[in-house]
Amino acid sequence: MGDQDSGKSLAVDVNTGGVSRDQVNHQEETSEFVSLRPKSLREYIGQAEVIETLAIAIEAALQRKEPPDHILFHGPPGLGKTTLAYIIAEEMGVNITVTSGPALEKGGDLLGILTHLEEGDVLFVDEMHRLPRVVEEFLYPAMEEFAVDFIFDKGVHARSHRYRLERFVLVGATTRAGSLSAPLRERFGIFRTLDFYCEDDLVRIAKRSAAILDVKIDTDGAHEIARRSRGTPRIVNRLLKRVRDFTQVRGTGIIDKDTVHKALELEGVDEKGLTILDRKLLRAIIDFYKGGPVGIEAIAATLQEESDTLVDMVEPYLLKMGLLTRTSAGRKVTEQAYRHFGLSVQQGLFG
């Protein structure tokens, strides 16, 4: 359960009882990230409009005794797209099968998953923008008509056979909605964008996670973690665990503002939540390209990083914070970025 790092699909039975539930429980015992996930819409913190949309769609579907429309979530990593997929399955009382775009290399990979889905099951596909074209075309009739077409033989002997599927719910997640083809986007009935979280919601998440982890945290400590978490719940939980370790070994056992400051300074996370890679990107533009504009590929080459990593993991927060802008000519740092490093624009140009 969780984000798809392995590139393999995972089938999970979220109904009570049975071997699959035992497997889920075992995973929860061995993975704190899983145990920190909310299990229902009621537990979910933040994204109020998205949650309301889902609550209405799920309740209406349950009343009609049919699956809800296919759902597409768009937004930066770590905002809860995978968690929401599990919650949808839990609220509907059905199984969930998890896979990702890169894992589905050919139509047969998807076909094997689709033919094993039961009535109302959830199929969650992460990184949908990375689906191969041939797999995407298999999805069209599956999503629209709950059927897939087989082609037997070739040439004049070619024969087509339509295989009927059980009605299912496709939940897709992407960080790049613009990279999805129009025919695929149009087959989703619900399209919602997840935005960065406000600090108050992140504080609530930090306190909730601390309670689950059985660690004491005061309000100032929770605010300090939230402030440095880039508007992202996943980062709240990651930083909380690092601060927990620090306060256990070098602190008083209670997470307060001072402890958070010392622990995250050690982790390379500054007061704005910028990581070492964030600062390297901004300084590269300032030091090597006089503040920009410069293309993302040139920045990636300078930093020896993949451009996709910078676009998906680094840029969204820097843009949100007003430290970076995109122009038709490339990326530029802002005056606010210069100030963050204690520089003037003139120093960046000539220093």
Name the H helices within 115-218.
Answer: 133-145, 182-185, 199-212
Q: Which of 13, 82, 121, 278 is catalytic?
A: 82
- CA pair distance 332, 33, nearest whole angstrom: 35
Is 80 exceeded by the pLDDT of residue 23?
no
Four-way CATH pick for 199-267: 1.10.3720.10, 1.10.10.10, 2.60.40.680, 1.10.8.60: 1.10.8.60
The answer to whether 81 is a known catalytic residue is yes
Question: Are the beta carbons of 164 and 118 closer than 8 angstroms?
Answer: no
Q: Find the Cα–Cα–Cα–Cα dihedral 68, 72, 77, 82, rounded to 10°.
A: 20
Question: With bands split at pLDDT 50, 70 and 90, how would you rate the model's confidence at 148?
Answer: confident
Average pLDDT, the chain: 87
Residues of the chain with CATH 3.40.50.300: 10-193
Is 90 exceeded by the pLDDT of residue 192?
yes
Higher-pLDDT residue of 31, 110:
110
Is 60 exceeded by the pLDDT of residue 226?
yes
Is 60 exceeded by the pLDDT of residue 1?
no
| Angle (nearest 5°) at CA 100 between 3 and 1 | 30
Of 88, 95, 81, the closest CA to residue 14 belongs to 95
Model's pTM, two decimal places?
0.84
The CATH code of the domain at 276-350 is 1.10.10.10
Residue % of the chain over a pLDDT of 70: 86
- CA pair distance 308, 312, nearest whole angstrom: 6
Distances (CA, A) of 291 to 56, 223, 237, 318: 47, 32, 33, 14
Q: Which two tokens stand for residue 7?
A: 């590139």
Residues of the chain with CATH 1.10.10.10: 276-350
Distances (CA, A) of 190 to 57, 69, 73, 193, 274: 9, 7, 8, 10, 33
| Angle (nearest 5°) at CA 305 between 301 and 308 | 105
The answer to whether 175 is a known catalytic residue is yes
**What is the reported pLDDT for 334?**
96
DSSP 79-141: SSHHHHHHHHHHHHT--EEEEEGGG--SHHHHHHHHTTPPTT-EEEEESGGG--HHHHHHHHH
Q: Which two tokens stand for residue 348?
A: 């960046």
The domain 10-193 belongs to what CATH superfamily? Answer: P-loop containing nucleotide triphosphate hydrolases (3.40.50.300)
Q: Which of 192, 234, 244, 331 is catalytic?
A: 234
Is 90 exceeded by the pLDDT of residue 160?
no
DSSP 216-263: EE-HHHHHHHHHTTTT-HHHHHHHHHHHHHHHHHHS-SEE-HHHHHHH
Q: Which of 83, 99, 174, 175 is catalytic?
A: 175
Average pLDDT score over residue span 196-202: 96
The answer to whether 234 is a known catalytic residue is yes
- CA pair distance 279, 137, nearest whole angstrom: 41
Q: Which of 81, 130, 230, 331 is catalytic?
A: 81
pLDDT digits (tens, 9 = 90+) for 56-85: 999 999 999 999 999 999 999 999 999 999
**What is the reported pLDDT for 223?**
97
**What is the reported pLDDT for 150?**
72
Q: Which two tokens stand for residue 109?
A: 């990979």
Q: Which of 83, 97, 99, 126 is catalytic?
A: 126
**What is the reported pLDDT for 273?**
93
Phi, psi of 151 (to 5 degrees): -115, 120
pLDDT digits (tens, 9 = 90+) for 265-318: 999 999 999 999 999 999 999 999 999 999 999 999 999 999 999 999 999 999
Range from 14-18, 310-314, 323-327 carrying the lowest mean pLDDT = 14-18
The answer to whether 126 is a known catalytic residue is yes
Residues of the chain with CATH 1.10.8.60: 199-267
